[in-house]
Amino acid sequence: MRKTTSLAPKSKRPLKASSKVPAKAAGARQSITISTKATLPKELQLSIYDLMIKSRVLEERLIKVYKTGDAYFWIGGAGEEAFGVPLGLLTHKGHGPEYDYLHLHYRATPTMIALGMPMIDSLRLMMNRVTDPSTGGRNFCNHYCFPQWNVVPVTSPIEVQYGMAIGTAVAQRRRWYTAGGKTPASGKKSISIVSGGDAGSAEGDFASSLIWASRPGFELPMLITVQNNKWGISTSYDTQHGEKNVADRGKAFGIRTAIVNGNDPIETYLALQTEIDYIRKTGKPVLAEFHLSRIYGHSSATGANREPDVCPIELFEKKLVDQKWIKPHETKELWKRYDEESREAAEQVRKEPVPTRESIWDNIYVGSENADWRKF
């Protein structure tokens, strides 16, 4: 594990699986650059940058915690910051169907940080503490659950969230119509946002979301996103997908589609804003595909080492520095400050209690009504 949080990869060794992978699969991503035309206010850009660093530092802390043996597994969102942070910022956050629902997958730390999750809560999940607000120590890291922001439980089975998002969107659509087209008291019409990987789009649940979201006369306010990092563990995109873009599949259903450089936070922010506005206005779905990076490989199962993939933060940082919106030493301080915060949080979590054995019977039914057959 690297000692500092410097962005430069220590070794530029090739991807492990590269022997089986066509060269262009890995190479395709190198063409991603930061667009210079699109823009956002300076303040907003700096705060996106800040949140991206915070999220990355947190993920790197989670990896350290894994590598020092304080956790069993790591999987996370390092490399998805330029997508996840804008998503969190653009979510109409709150509890219940009057607000947006987030059906996330296991790479959503940037979104959670942007929503306002404290670093320590991610570490509590990572280290299976009873204080973990998502699962009470029951589930893997990055399997977030925050009802106050409609972040419904992240689960391991790939793609099931695409089906569940239909249900929350049906609940929201009902409220749109019972409100007679008026804007609800919460201020905005709410939508269901779902995210997941490129490989997972092969599951039937992905097709379900397209079919159910586009039924004539029953269209659903859904933002269906795909985070295309060109990999499913070790299987490359090019070897599995006959369709050029995953987003093309939306066209058959008359669903509006977008393909976005998900390594550029400005382009992503603007695209998300446009698509979300469209959904709030029309009540109709959007399928948006974001091309982005996987900085530490798939998970700790594949080593969780820095891989030679484009780093969205590195690109964005360079742009901000070149523009003189931030000074190089200020960037270093930011990384350091978050590193310190994450280290202290990890120290604190180490001291926190773990779940008890008896607690396996808690919360099987509401109010922990007895679910143990021995006591029937």
Partner 1 sequence: MANMAQAIRMALHVGETRLGVTDIFGQDVGAPLGGVFTASQGLKNTWNSPLDERGIIATAIGLGLAGDRCVAEIQFADYIFNTIDLLKMAGNTLWCSNGQYNLPIVVMTPVGAGIRGSIYHSHSFDAWATRLPGWKVVIPSTPLDAYGLLISAIKDPNPVLFLNPKSLMRVRGTELIPGEPADEKELKNMIDQPVDDRKHQWRPKWPQLEEFEIPIGKGKIVREGDRATVVSYGRTLPLCAKVADMLREEGVAIEVIDLRSLYPYDWQMIKASVHKTGRVLFVNEDTEVTNFGEHLAFRATQDLFYELLARPRVLAGKNVPGIGLHPNLEEASVPHLEDILHEVRELLGEVP
Ligand X SMILES: Cc1ncc(C[n+]2csc(CCOP(=O)(O)OP(=O)(O)O)c2C)c(N)n1
The footprint of ligand X (CB under 6 A) covers 107, 156-158, 196-200, 227, 229, 231-233, 298
Q: How far is the CB of 219 from ligand X (least distance, A)?
A: 26
Q: How far is the CB of 212 from ligand X (least distance, A)?
A: 19
Please choose which of Mg ion, partner 1, ligand X, none residue 200 contacts, taking the beta carbon within 5 to 8 angstroms, the exact cut-off set by kind.
ligand X
CB-neighbour burial class of residue 351 (10 A; exposed 0-12, middle 13-18, buried 19+): exposed
Q: How far apart are CA 230 and CA 292, in angstroms?
A: 8
- In the bound state with Mg ion, the residue whose beta carbon lies nearer, of 47 and 235, is 235
340 contacts: CB under 8 Å, gap ≥ 6: none
Closest by Cα among 226, 218, 99, 109 to 158: 226
Please choose which of Mg ion, partner 1, ligand X, none residue 15 contacts, taking the beta carbon within 5 to 8 angstroms, the exact cut-off set by kind.
none
User: Which residue has the closest beta carbon to ligand X?
Assistant: 197
* Per-position DSSP letters for 36-78, written without gaps between them: SS----HHHHHHHHHHHHHHHHHHHHHHHHHHTTSSS-----T
Site for Mg ion in 201-260 (CB under 5 A): 229, 231
Q: How far is CA 229 from the centre of its chain?
A: 12
Please choose which of ligand X, Mg ion, partner 1, none residue 145 contacts, taking the beta carbon within 5 to 8 angstroms, the exact cut-off set by kind.
partner 1
Q: How far is the CB of 198 from ligand X (least distance, A)?
A: 4
Which ranges of 179-264 would DSSP assign to H, the alpha helix?
204-213
The footprint of partner 1 (CB under 8 A) covers 96-97, 101, 132, 134-136, 138-139, 143, 145, 147, 152-153, 155, 157, 160, 162-172, 174, 192, 204-205, 208, 211-212, 215, 362-366, 368-371, 373, 376
Please choose which of Mg ion, partner 1, ligand X, none residue 138 contacts, taking the beta carbon within 5 to 8 angstroms, the exact cut-off set by kind.
partner 1
The residue whose two tokens read 């993939």 is 309
Tokens standing for residue 326: 């931030």
CA dihedral 53, 278, 168, 125 (to 10 degrees): 0
- In the bound state with partner 1, the residue whose beta carbon lies nearer, of 146 and 296, is 146
Q: How far apart are CA 143 and CA 18, in angstroms?
A: 29
The answer for 66, left when phi > 0, alpha when psi is -120 to 50, beta otherwise, is alpha
Told to check if 198 binds Mg ion by CB under 5 A, we report: yes
Please give the DSSP secondary-structure letter assigned to residue 179. T
Please choose which of Mg ion, ligand X, partner 1, none residue 233 contacts, taking the beta carbon within 5 to 8 angstroms, the exact cut-off set by kind.
ligand X
Told to check if 159 binds Mg ion by CB under 5 A, we report: no
- In the bound state with partner 1, the residue whose beta carbon lies nearer, of 129 and 291, is 129
Q: How far is the CB of 13 from partner 1 (least distance, A)?
A: 37
In this chain, which stretch among 189-197, 216-224, 318-326, 363-371 interacts with Mg ion, using CB under 5 A? 189-197
Instruction: Return residues touching Mg ion (CB under 5 A).
Output: 197-199, 229, 231
